[in-house]
Amino acid sequence: MSAVAEARMGELDRVTDEVAAAGLAEELFAVVDAIDASPALKRALTDVTTDEDARVALARGLFGGKVSKATATVLGEAVRRRWGGANALGAALERQAVRAALREALGAGTLGTVEEELFRLGRLVDASPELRSAIGDRNAPLVGRQALVTELIKGKVAHVSEGLARRAVAARQRTFDLTLDSYLALAAALRQHAIAHVTVAQPLSEKQANALRAALTKQLGREVTLQVVVDPEVLGGVRVRIGDDVIEGTVAGRIEDVTRQLG
């Protein structure tokens, strides 16, 4: 994403945060589905040769009275901006819907649980080639693939987690697992956390995880969310990836003691 696009997305993020209200996520998802279902509408709402006020007026004429004021505000601000393509508008609105759902969990004090549930679901699907293929089969009806995910997790995860898992099947970010990863990145940003991808040979105990989290928090100067993957091919110790940086025990002195405990 270009710097200009990132700036526009950040502006829209702030609009969504300012008007956040109950039901915003569901309404925004419905708007996204309606726009995606009509190529003509998508083109009309993103036509840069049309005055931005005219595009906003079109959106209000179509959705006004059918959605809340908060949803209408986010939609209007999204349509007013240039996104570099017809599909980009849907992606921008989908991001706002996901952020609204995650913000709902944040307000309820369950965002950490939602992060953990989505991460575990991603690992479960990634570990099963058959399941990964079935969910990612774009030749199969979307509703059937969503039903497969629902059957897999229904009653086992939070309501927000279930809803986001179903949305991720459409794979806005190319694949199911990459889309879940994008949700997790948004969740971490809402909590102002860094995401640490941790690879270990054996599962961490709660004490070990807490010690590693504390060491990384001290190293980075902000809170850290751990995403732990067990890989038997790792011969002891711990490997941590944060963004493009990889931290090994031999490099980061502040976590050497923790690394030795995990060896």
Q: Are residues 18 and 97 in the same domain?
A: yes
- Residue 4 has what pLDDT? 84
Looking at the fold, whether 257 and 208 belong to one and the same domain comes out as yes
Q: How many C-beta neighbours within 10 Å does residue 107 have?
A: 11
Asked if the model's pLDDT at residue 141 lies above 80, the reply is: yes
Q: Taking every pair of C-alpha atoms in the chain, what is the biggest distance, in angstroms?
A: 63
On whether both 102 and 90 belong to a single domain, the answer is: yes
Evaluate if residue 12 carries a pLDDT over 60: yes
Distance CA 109, CA 190 (A): 12
Same domain, 173 and 200: no
If you average pLDDT over residues 104-110, what whole number do you get? Answer: 95
Q: How confident is the model at residue 252 (pLDDT cuts 50, 70, 90)?
A: very low
Domain boundary among 82, 108, 134: 108
Q: Element (H or E) spanning 134, and its range?
A: helix 129-136
**Other Cβ atoms within 10 Å of 24 Cβ, number:** 24
Residues 104 and 115 in one domain: no
Distance CA 115, CA 88 (A): 25
pTM summary value: 0.85
Residue 44 vs residues 55, 205, 208, 223: alpha-carbon distances, Å = 7, 54, 54, 43
* SS3 (DSSP) at 35: helix
How many structural domains is the chain composed of?
3
Average pLDDT over residues 120-138: 95
Within 101-223, strands assigned E span 194-200
Q: Are residues 137 and 184 in the same domain?
A: yes
- Same domain flag for 163 and 258: no
pLDDT at 87 over 60: yes
Find the CATH number of the domain harbouring 211: 3.30.910
Q: Determine which of 94-103, 204-213, 225-234 has the lowest per-residue pLDDT on average.
A: 225-234
Please tell me whether residues 172 and 201 are part of one structural domain: no
Residue 60 pLDDT > 70: yes
Q: Quickly state the pLDDT bin for 258 (edges 50, 70, 90).
A: low
> What count of other Cβ atoms lies within 10 Å of the Cβ of residue 114?
26
Same structural domain, 83 and 45: yes
Residue 6 vs residue 247, higher pLDDT: 6
Distance CA 89, CA 32 (A): 9
Please identify which residue in the block is written with the tokens 């309404």: 27
- Where among 92, 108, 124 does a domain terminate? 108
Residue 27 sits in the same domain as residue 44? yes
Task: Examine the pLDDT at 245 and tell me if it is beyond 90.
Answer: no
Cα dihedral angle (40, 44, 45, 48), rounded to 10 degrees? 140
Which of 155, 190, 225 is the last residue before a domain boundary? 190
- The reply to whether 10 and 94 lie within a common domain is yes
pLDDT: is 174 or 234 the higher one?
A: 174
Domain that holds residue 87: 3-108
Same domain, yes or no: 130 and 45: no
